[in-house]
Structures are given as structure tokens and as C-alpha cells.
């Protein structure tokens, strides 16, 4: 038998589960509340299996306390050596929690599990967030399971705190469930520690970032209304400025209605005049400040995230977004996916904008 990674306490049940998974291989989903040792267990399994010559794919679906890639992304690593996994692909989901981004999270996990299998993973480990209570957790986990169709579920629990998530699969009997104890040596993290961990990852990520310009008319925009319509002329902006009694910087008309971006407080009372003028039912009025510091994903044509970026500024006269990013060339960028988290280049989370799936 090979040695365990240094300093890790290995309950005997952890050892026992290894041959049971090895014999079947396939996709393995890890479930557990926060601070139950999920990431540590993943590292232990990677170490053990790569020493035996097994190729292990790791899909890090924890968008907060990430093991692979910056927070807000689902990351993929392919492990052939017993060392810390390295990121080979990632998908930005929008925030450090799946709230409001459940579909993006589930899709990202599915896409990366498929990619791991395609790249030759004999066992694919899927790590998850510690979100296990409440309706969102129930829906998130069940949809994930339905999509990725794992052969095994590894459930780390102190008592029976995630039995409610396991119950349907216990009854169905297709997926092999492995219930595992939490090591007594687990160290719990406070909310502040979790935030500081994310801040450190973000700071390192944006350390050598530079500003790059992206033109709204040349690139696809996702998870935002901006860029989905036809730009309004300056005569329209003058009309809108008068009606809203503020400085309107930009406007678009789409089949959804009118999008207006201002740089001041607007006057709501006469929005009906805009609806009447353009014969639309929807008018969205946003302040340009809402976009500043917003975290975005710079994606290729398949929604793989090439890099994250922070919107520094919008030059709406030219439809240009200035984005701070470590990406050296924006040539491959085909889409900008808007998130809901606001971030400073030093990694501080300074707010969230509302976002719904
Ligand atoms: N088996 C173990 N032996 C020694 N230390 C452990 C063990 N399991 C967990 N720890 C320690 O406890 C802490 C939390 O563990 P870990 O990060 O693996 O938990 P997690 O469930 O992934 O947490 P999160 O909810 O943040 O994702 C870490 O500092 C880790 O080093
Ligand atoms: Mg973890």
C-alpha cells in the first residue's frame, strides 16, 4: 500500500471505499456540508489513484472555496501524477455561490465532466459546495446528479445531516452510495476566513492583469441585457435624457424592449412616455455605476472561460468596455459573460448585483 499525503488523518472507512470505487471507475460525486473535509478527501484520492497509474479527472464544482481556478468558476484538472492538480479548463458561473446561477453551475459541471471523460479520465471526481440545506441545495444537487449520472456518491457527514439528499438515490438503487465519517482533525472556517481565502485567490489571479478593450458590437454578451439589441441614435438619447431628467449615456432597443444606461438618478414618473414613444412594454433603466467593478468571464465560442476580467469602465459613446484581465490576448474571446459579483483588482468583494437564473 502507498503512503497517504503528509499530515492527513485517514479514517479506516476512507481506505475501505477505495477498492469499491476502483473496481467500477466512472464518475464520483462528493457531497458534504461545509468543513467536512471534501477537498482533503479529493486530494487523498487523487494521490492514491495516480500512484496506481490511474488517470483521475477532477471537476471542482465549489465556486467559493475553490481548489482549482479562481472562485466563481468550475474548474477541470487531469491528474496523472500524485501532485496538486493543475487547472486545464474552466467555466465562469457568475458568483461565489450558486444562488442565482444554478443553471450555469450545473451546466458547467456537466460540460467539464464530459471533457474529463473525453480526455481519458478513468475516474472523475466531482467536488461540490457545502450547500446542503434548503430548497436550492436540494434542487441543485438533484439536478447535478441527474445530469452527470454518477456511478458513486461519496457522502461525508458528521451525523445524518445529508441523508435527505441521499434518500431518493437510496430508494432507486442505481448509484452506489458510500457514507463516510468526517475526520476528527477537520478544522472549521469562519465566514471571514472563507472570504479572506477567496480574496487571496482573486488577488493572485489579477496580480499581473492589464486593461483590454472590448467592443459591445463586435462580441457576444451573455447573462446581461447589454448588447442584445440595436444601439439607439444620439437623437434618441436626447429624448430619453429629457424624459428621465438625467444624462442618458446609452440606449438599446431589442425585441424585449428598451435598455437605458444613465449616469445619474432618473425620474421614474414619465417612463410611460418612453413605452408609448417606442411602442414597447419593457423599459430597463440602469446606472452605469452598476457595471463598474463587475466580474465577467471572457469566453471562447464554446463558453469555456479563457480568463476572468473586471469591468473598469464603459465608454458608451464608442460602445467599449475596458476590462482588467490577465489574458494576454483577446483574439480568442468571443463572448463576455456578465456575473453578479463586484470585485476590486486586489480581490475585495465589494457588492453584488441582482441576478436570476
Ligand atoms: N482527514 C483530514 N486530516 C487532516 N486535516 C484535515 C482532514 N480533513 C480536513 N482537514 C483540514 O480541515 C480543514 C477543512 O477541510 P477541507 O477544506 O478539506 O473541507 P471542505 O469540506 O472541503 O471545506 P469547504 O466547505 O470549505 O469546501 C482544512 O484545513 C483541512 O486541512
Ligand atoms: Mg472544499
Q: Which atom of ligand 1 is nearest to the CA of 41?
A: 18
In this structure, what DSSP letter does residue 228 have? S
CA of 65 to the centre of ligand 2 (A): 6
Q: What per-residue confidence (pLDDT) applies to 265?
A: 86
Read off the pLDDT band of 5 (50, 70, 90).
Answer: low
Mean pLDDT of 88-95: 97
pLDDT tens figures, 132-171? 999 989 999 999 999 999 999 999 999 999 999 999 999 8
pLDDT tens figures, 57-89? 999 999 999 999 999 999 999 999 998 899 999
Mean pLDDT of 225-252: 94
Query: Quick check: CB of 118 below 6 Å from ligand 1?
Result: no
CA of 251 to the centre of ligand 1 (A): 49
pLDDT reading at 356 higher than 90 = no
CA of 307 to the centre of ligand 2 (A): 22
Mean pLDDT of the residues in the chain: 93
Give the whole-angstrom CA distance, residue 46 versus residue 153.
16
Query: Quick check: CB of 96 below 6 Å from ligand 1?
Result: no
CA of 352 to the centre of ligand 2 (A): 23
Side-chain half-sphere of 29: how many Cα atoms within 13 Å? 29
What domains lie within the chain, and their CATH numbers? 12-188 (3.40.50.300), 206-223+291-352 (2.40.30.330), 230-289 (no CATH)
Mean pLDDT of 230-257: 94
Query: Quick check: CB of 61 below 6 Å from ligand 1?
Result: no
Query: Quick check: CB of 130 below 6 Å from ligand 1?
Result: yes
Can you list the positions of beta strands (E) in the chain?
26-32, 56-60, 73-79, 87-92, 123-127, 152-157, 176-181, 210-215, 220-222, 230-231, 248-254, 257-262, 283-287, 294-299, 305-315, 320-325, 335-343, 349-352
pLDDT tens figures, 179-209? 999 999 999 999 999 999 999 999 999 999 9
What is the sign of the dihedral through the CA atoms of 6, 11, 16 and 20? negative
pLDDT tens figures, 255-304? 889 999 999 888 888 899 999 999 999 999 999 999 999 999 999 999 99
Q: What per-residue confidence (pLDDT) applies to 352?
A: 92
pLDDT tens figures, 298-353? 999 999 999 999 999 999 888 899 999 999 888 889 999 999 999 999 999 999 98
Mean pLDDT of 53-59: 97
- Count of Cβ atoms closer than 10 Å to residue 42 Cβ: 24
Ligand number nearest CA of 180 is 1
Query: Quick check: CB of 82 below 6 Å from ligand 1?
Result: no
Ligand number nearest CA of 31 is 1
CA of 263 to the centre of ligand 1 (A): 46
290: CB partners within 8 A, 6+ apart = 353
pLDDT reading at 176 higher than 60 = yes
Q: What per-residue confidence (pLDDT) applies to 331?
A: 81
Q: Which residues are within 5 Å of ligand 2 (an ion), measured at CB?
A: 38-39, 65
Q: Which atom of ligand 1 is nearest to the CA of 11?
A: 1
Read off the pLDDT band of 4 (50, 70, 90).
Answer: low
pLDDT tens figures, 34-43? 999 999 999 9
Amino acid at each position: 500500500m502507498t503512503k497517504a499525503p503528509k499530515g492527513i488523518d485517514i479514517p479506516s472507512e476512507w481506505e475501505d471505499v477505495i477498492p469499491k470505487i476502483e473496481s467500477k471507475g466512472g464518475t464520483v460525486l462528493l457531497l458534504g456540508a461545509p468543513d467536512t473535509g471534501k477537498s482533503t478527501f479529493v486530494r487523498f484520492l487523487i494521490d492514491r489513484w495516480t500512484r496506481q497509474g490511474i488517470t483521475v479527472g477532477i471537476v471542482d464544482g465549489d465556486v467559493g472555496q475553490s481548489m482549482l481556478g479562481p472562485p466563481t468558476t468550475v474548474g477541470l484538472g487531469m491528474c496523472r501524477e500524485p501532485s496538486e492538480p493543475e487547472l486545464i479548463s474552466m467555466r465562469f458561473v457568475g458568483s461565489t455561490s450558486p444562488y442565482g446561477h444554478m443553471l450555469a453551475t450545473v451546466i458547467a459541471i456537466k460540460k467539464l465532466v464530459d471533457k474529463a471523460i473525453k480526455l481519458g479520465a478513468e475516474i472523475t471526481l466531482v467536488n461540490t459546495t457545502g450547500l446542503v440545506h434548503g430548497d436550492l441545495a436540494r434542487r441543485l444537487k438533484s439536478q447535478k446528479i441527474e445530469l452527470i449520472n454518477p456511478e458513486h456518491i461519496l457522502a461525508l457527514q458528521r451525523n445524518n445531516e445529508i441523508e435527505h439528499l441521499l434518500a431518493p438515490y437510496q430508494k432507486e438503487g442505481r448509484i452506489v452510495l458510500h457514507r463516510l465519517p468526517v475526520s476528527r482533525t477537520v478544522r472549521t472556517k469562519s465566514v471571514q476566513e472563507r472570504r479572506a481565502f477567496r480574496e487571496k485567490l482573486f488577488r493572485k489571479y489579477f496580480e499581473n492583469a492589464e486593461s483590454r478593450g472590448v467592443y459591445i458590437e463586435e462580441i457576444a454578451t451573455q447573462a446581461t441585457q447589454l448588447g442584445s439589441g440595436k444601439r439607439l441614435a444620439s437623437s434618441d438619447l436626447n429624448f430619453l435624457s429629457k424624459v428621465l431628467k438625467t444624462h442618458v449615456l446609452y440606449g438599446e432597443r431589442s425585441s424585449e424592449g428598451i435598455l437605458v444606461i444613465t449616469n445619474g438618478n432618473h425620474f421614474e414618473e414619465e417612463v410611460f412616455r418612453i413605452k408609448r414613444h417606442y411602442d414597447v412594454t419593457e423599459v430597463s433603466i440602469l446606472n452605469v455605476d452598476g457595471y463598474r467593478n463587475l466580474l465577467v468571464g471572457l469566453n471562447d465560442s464554446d463558453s469555456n472561460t479563457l480568463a476572468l476580467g473586471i469591468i473598469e469602465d464603459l465608454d458608451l459613446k464608442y460602445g467599449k468596455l475596458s476590462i482588467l484581465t490577465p489574458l494576454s490576448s483577446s483574439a480568442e474571446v468571443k463572448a463576455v459573460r456578465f456575473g453578479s459579483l463586484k470585485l476590486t483588482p486586489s480581490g475585495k468583494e465589494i457588492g453584488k448585483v441582482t441576478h436570476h437564473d
